[in-house]
Chains A and B, each alone.
Chain A
Amino acid sequence: MKAIINVFLKNGVLDSQGKAVQHALSGHGFETVRDVRVGKQIIVEMDESDVAVAKEKVAHMCEELLANTVIEEYEIEIQK
């Protein structure tokens, strides 16, 4: 089973990297760009058969290590 975890800065926490990328895109003629957020994707392969159990374990991993919940939020997608 595979877990895809996306980690982004929370709304309200300034994403300086996103802003820099946004400026670069706008400067290159992509005028319709309104906002850019830069985050990271973490892919975890697990020996689990139960989706709910896997999801719970990954949420625990996010709280413990994969995300810093003071500034970041995360989304988990489980793929069989």
Chain B
Amino acid sequence: MSAKMKVGILQFPGTNCEYDTQHAFNDLGCETAILWHKEDSIPEGIDLVVVAGGFSYGDYLRSGAIAKMSPIMKALKKYAKAGGKVLGICNGFQVLTETGLLPGALKRNEGLHFISRHHHLKVVSNDNDFLRHCTQGDVVNIPIAHHDGNYFIDEQGLKQLHANNQILLQYTNEKGEIENPNGSVESIAGICNEAKNVFGLMPHPERAMESLLGSCDGRRMLEGFLNR
């Protein structure tokens, strides 16, 4: 049997999904470690770094803005540049766009409300490590919980996302028809970088691991990172 995959999960003051994320990856048979933001390196042997959800630094100034100044982010940039895999969930997605590891930005939801509910998502691209167990056009049911999930990117950036298959997921109804909860450009819920080693999404796959709790669609998404 191959060695267990090692997942590092970043923790800032105000992060609150790190233990759910840890539970999810432990449940998938991974070794996990919580990495405090004051650390200035990513430990040897980590196969995936997850920037977990929550409200880093109370969302002060802008969601994810202050987190990007933390020592660990310099290390994360280096790790990602060297090809290391990174997944940002919710606030983690915001941190990754603020840092410039992912293009675009996340604005206040168009309707100005905090939205917390299950939402259907359509798989747009699966030629990547994250969604390789999903089929293009698959509809998954994943919880969303955010105030600033309104994805913005300018026209040229959007063209690039299309050209490189960087759009991972779109908000839809259960039939896979666009249903946009927050005003995101093209109803985008998740993207990756051009090199396809940095992933970000607003929905919470780590909260969709048990059918008893409403959905286990997150399992098939996170499993994509395993055994690669």
Q: Footprint of B on A, CB under 8 Å?
A: 9, 13-14, 16-17, 20, 65-66, 68, 70-71
Contact = CB atoms under 8 A, between A and B. Distances in A.
Nearest to A20: B112
Interface in B94-110: 97-98, 104-105, 107-110
Given A68-B105, A70-B104, A71-B152, A14 B61 contact: no
11 contacts: A13-B107, A14-B107, A16-B112, A20-B112, A65-B65, A65-B69, A70-B97, A70-B104, A70-B152, A70-B154, A71-B105
Classify chain B's interface size: 20 to 34
Contacts of B110: 14, 16
A65 B73 CA distance: 14
Contacts of A20: 112
A14 B185 CA distance: 11
Of A13, A17, A66, A71, most B-chain CB atoms within 10 Å: A71
A52 to B, nearest CB: 26
Contacts of B183: 14, 16
Nearest to B62: A68
A14 B19 CA distance: 35
- The dominant DSSP class at the B interface is loop
A16 B152 contact: no
B161 to A, nearest CB: 14
Contacts of B109: 16
Given A17-B112, A66-B61, A68-B65, 4 more contacts: A16-B109, A16-B110, A16-B183, A68-B98
Nearest to B109: A16
Contacts of A70: 97, 104-105, 152-154
Given A65-B61, A65-B69, A68-B98, A13 B108 contact: no
A70 B105 CA distance: 7
B204 to A, nearest CB: 23
B31 to A, nearest CB: 34
Interface string B56-70: 000001100110110
B108 A17 contact: yes
Of A13, A14, A66, A68, most B-chain CB atoms within 10 Å: A68
B100 to A, nearest CB: 9
Nearest to A12: B154
B228 to A, nearest CB: 31
Contacts of A16: 107-112, 150, 183
Contacts of A9: 107
A37 B212 CA distance: 45
B172 to A, nearest CB: 21
A20 to B, nearest CB: 6
Nearest to A69: B105
A24 B114 CA distance: 20
A17 B147 CA distance: 13
